[in-house]
Amino acid sequence: MSRLGKRPVVLPAGVSAAVRHDDRVVEIKGPKGTLKWVYPAGVKVSQAGDGSNQAISVVPEAKIETLEGPQRALWGLTRSKIAGMVAGVAQGFTKTLEIQGVGYKARLEGHKLVLSLGNSHPINFEIPSGATITVDPKQTLLTIAGSDKELVGRVAGVLRALKPPEPYKGKGIRYAGEHIIRKAGKAAATAGTGAKK
């Protein structure tokens, strides 16, 4: 049995859910927004309880004792996805990026993030619906927030890819707390070679 899949997803206060079996849609609403997801065939999603004691259960359509590896994985993944949706609309998710490099910075202009990353012209990034971005006063710290964990992660990944941190001076965009393996520059490498002679 999937140890993860068999546990119901409890709905915290302020969060509600609706499950449509005809088109396999689960909808979760909360303080941070509304998320919908079409759950896969092979599992049954149901809602139980009333008042402040509500939960969503996920069970396989086939008999548990006949489930094979991929079916068990699907069961657990479905439960994990719904749990993530509940957490997202209840509390939200964030990713923080750091911009490093002389003259490298970002600013907000309406629904766009304008980044100066050493190119001949600034980069305009359209902030997608469902995500928000805040910039610190120094214009070098970006916080991406939203109720959809996958969207928040995707936006952070796209922004990091605009200028990945280079290994010599570390200039670029990195995740907060990300460790970059640094390489010695040519001058340092030459000096090191000379010292061995």
pLDDT digits (tens, 9 = 90+) for 58-116: 988 777 666 677 777 888 899 999 999 999 999 999 999 999 999 999 999 999 999 99
The string of pLDDT tens digits covering residues 108-138 is 999 999 999 999 999 999 999 999 999 999 9
> Do residues 139 and 107 touch, judged by C-beta distance below 8 A?
yes
Tell me the CATH number of domain 9-90, given options 1.10.238.10, 3.40.30.10, 3.40.50.970, 3.90.930.12: 3.90.930.12
Question: Of 90-99, 138-147, 168-177, which gets the smallest average pLDDT?
Answer: 168-177
- At the fourth CATH level, the homologous superfamily of domain 93-175 is Ribosomal protein L6 (3.90.930.12)
Q: Where are the alpha helices (DSSP H) in 58-168?
A: 69-90, 149-162
**Could you tell me which of 114, 144, 119, 142 has the C-alpha nearest to residue 131?**
144
Domain regions of the chain by residue span: 9-90, 93-175
Among 25, 1, 9, 145, residue whose Cα is nearest residue 82: 9
Whether 9-90 and 93-175 share one fold: the answer is: yes
Under DSSP, is residue 139 helix (H, G, I), strand (E, B) or coil?
coil
- Is there a contact between 9 and 78 (Cβ–Cβ < 8 Å)? no
Q: Both tokens of residue 1?
A: 């049995």
Share of the chain above pLDDT 70, in %: 88
